[in-house]
Structure 1
Amino acid sequence: MAIPELPADLLKGHWQRLADHAATGRLPDREALDAYRAAGARAAELGLPLRALVDAALAAGEDLPGVLPVLRKAVSALMEGYEAAQLAAIRSEESARREFVDDLLQGRAERLAERAEHFGLRLAESYVVTVARGLRDDRQARADRGLDRGDRGVDQGDRGLDREARDAGRVGRDPGGRIEHDRDRIERDLITRFGSHNVLVAVRDGLLVCVAPATLPAAVGEFTHHVRARFPPGWRVGVGRAHRGPGGVVASYREAAQALELADGLRLKIDVVKAADLLVFPVLLRDRSAIEDLVHSVLSPLLEARGGHEPLLETLEAIFASHGNQTAAARRLGVSPRAVTYRLERIRRLTGFSPDDPTQRFTLETAVLGARLLGWPAHG
């Protein structure tokens, strides 16, 4: 692919600085580095590719011996200016970005395609939406910054991160500043890897949302990696399926958010839940009266069990997760295999169903899943 031509005056004085270094060994001073940063910022404002800028800077030194040290400093300053300009542009358009994300995720179609192009999204393509739950709330943000004087237990690692955030000018005294700082850092890291015209990161309904093309499956893993690194314990990521067009983004977002809700209801232990793996559960809930009848008919006898129904439900969940292996289920539960055998016999006597029978196993497992989804018996 041809590299775009840069304006003639963009790197004015660059070749002369290289020649001076080749002759005297003198590195660029602060004024020269500031000029490079300004050139990098101008290139970003003109929409020139960073690759073209760096290529031009390196090409100028091809015929000059021993200019690697000055080239390293020059390229570093150019990239610093370029990235700073990109981040400044993102911040200046934050209000427009938030409005666009709200419209996109709610399916409001007014000038959506035109505005999407401005943010680098080509809505004719298929997109995958990934959401992360576990953003620090206002109280956590205050504690992390040491503003809540009643909380003396702030972790030193968090204090270090807060100093980093204040140095970056992103936190100040706004309780939501830490959330914005985390969002900005994750978005910047994703843009560095995939480019500013491939991902969109925003906060909506308490979730960190990432919209990426389906042709970039690595974006989901990269997003999850940064969530794991920056979110406090208890985070969870939901991944929607790939869908095409503006309506597809809305559908994928709703699937990702629903995956988190289903994972909570089912008490899943995994950190990353994919809507594609949970397709059966919306089907179950579609006929709520039928699933309620199944749960009541099969599991209500467990309410009469001595010690309560919960240990028996947990035993069934462990058996299903262990593919019927009672020893493995016992390890999951932290009890002896004999205790598992005893509980399964109680379940058979109370309900008339046994997980050892293939047909009855399916009925039992569906009933247990339905019970978790419905919050049975408390909300059943």
Structure 2
Amino acid sequence: MKIDPVKLTKKLVSFKSITPRDGGAIEYIATILKKSGFDCEILEFGDGGTKIKNLYAKYINGVPNLCFAGHVDVVHPGQLKGWTLDPFSPEVRDGMLYGRGAADMKSGIAAFIAAMVNLVAEKFQFSGSISALITSAEESMEEYGTKAVLKWMESKHKKIDYCVVAEPTSSEKLGDTIKIGRRGSATFKLICHGKQGHVAYPDLADNPIYKMVSILSKVKDTTFDNGNKYFQPSNCEITTVDVGNDTDNLIPGLITASFNIRYNNIQTPDNLYKLIDEICSSVTNDYKLSMHSSRGTFLSTPDRNIDIMLDAINKVTSIDATLSTSGGTSDAAFIKDVCLVIEFGMVNKTAHQVNECVLVDDVHKLTAIYKEFIKNYFYPSNKILNQINVVGNASEGPLLA
């Protein structure tokens, strides 16, 4: 059995898998992989009435194990009036495939499934095993997605030696960017307390707004670090400030704010919390600070496997990919705790946007790149074996592409 990755992308897009639901996509993928000889485990995690479906599928039990990972869940399409089609009724127009999840990241999943299944159909012989880790909880409820699957794998002594996450990493053209790392994300919530009162009698009140303004100003002016060869400096952005006050003659009793720090591998969440707490206490003692850190930073320094991906991309697209650590977070931040991991996939320009789309030709090219990577992962060409790590693709400054 061989798979057309474009037809598979369209089928996956048709599943209304708004996070954290899979809409039937997980069962469908498992059926395809089982027909090709993959051992499939559909894993459900969650609490209460919410159960998240995940899939771990493996072909052969040899070592090393090469894993491809991704997510079938998508963000809500938003107001439908902005779409020129039903977001879950995929269409191909002028060489573009439209639909929610086309870029992020159902085409990526279709490409690596097609690459694996088609190699099996072609009787590709190799010493090792290939696997797929697919979740429906990457965009939300991450604790029941990839993170939970990895814990299950550890309990079952199932090992991954290398992983490619099919996130849409390309910027302008397919193949221009590989993510070899990501910054971590730490979200802070700060409450400053005061004393409510009449604006005409400020001496009888304590306005917490001034405390918050002072703290946020200090936080924004703080240089956390200067970055390094692989990462840009850690950065803070204030996202909300609220007093919940619709009365113009009332001094509020409290104020809340949220801000997010995208941090590099120089920092840790604990160090950031300590620093922010010190800033708060320098202004007032009447505050409450909390922090949520979901996905941490990771870095896969250039090695032979990155050389193999660079070579595969160049062979299919004639593009010399740039190594990057920019952008948001992904489940690679969990996978890096068990093995080296990189991200490579489609062009990300329309991810999460109205009329999300990908080039049909790019879906075929991505499949070809993944196939080439798989073959050379298990049987490196002389060109790869003779290469010294292609660190030349890593610039002297931070990898911001």
TM-score, normalised via structure 2 length: 0.28
Structure 1 or 2, whichever has the larger Rg, is: 1
Higher relative contact order (CA 8 A, sep 6+): 2
Higher helix residue share:
1
TM-score, normalised via structure 1 length: 0.29
Higher strand residue share:
2
